[in-house]
Structure 1
Amino acid sequence: MSNPAILDSAALRQLMDSSDAPRVIDVRTPGEFETSHIPGSYNVPLDLLREHRAELRGHLDEQVVLICRSGQRSDLAAQALAEAGLPNLRVLQGGITAWQSAGGPIAHGQPRWELERQVRLIAGSIVLVSVLASTVVPGAEWVAAAIGGGLTFAALSNTCAMGMVLSKLPYNRGPRTEIRTVVNALAADRA
Structure 2
Amino acid sequence: MTLDELLAASRAGVRRLGPHELVEAAARGALVVDTRTDVQRRRQGELPRDLLPGVVVIDRTVLEWRLDPLGEHHVPEAKADDLEVVVVCRQGYSSSLAAASLRAIGLPRATDLEGGVEAWLAAGLPTDDGPADVRE
Task: Please report the TM-score for the alignment, with normalisation by the length of structure 1.
Answer: 0.49
Deviation at 1:106, TM superposition (A): 0.7
More relative contact order, 1 or 2 (CA 8 Å, 6+ apart): 2
The answer to whether the 8 Å contact 2:100/2:111 transfers is no
Q: Secondary structure at the match of 1:86?
A: coil
Q: Secondary structure at the match of 1:7?
A: coil
What value does the CA root-mean-square deviation take over the aligned residues? Answer: 2.7
Distance 1:50 1:62 in 2: 13
1:15 aligned residue (25, 36, 43): 25
1:108 and 2:118 correspond:
no
Distance 1:103 1:77 in 2: 25
Distance 2:29 2:22 in 1: 9
Task: Please report the TM-score for the alignment, with normalisation by the length of structure 2.
Answer: 0.66
Distance 1:96 1:71 in 2: 8
Q: How many residues align?
A: 111
Distance 1:10 1:177 in 2: 25
Larger gyration radius, structure 1 or structure 2: 1
Gaps of 5+ in 1: 110-175, 179-191
- AA aligned to 2:56 is Y
The answer to whether the 8 Å contact 1:9/1:98 transfers is yes
Q: Percent identity?
A: 29
Gaps of 5+ in 2: 1-9, 50-54
- In the TM superposition, 1:167-182 aligns within 5 A as 178=136
Aligned residue in 2 for 1:4 = 14
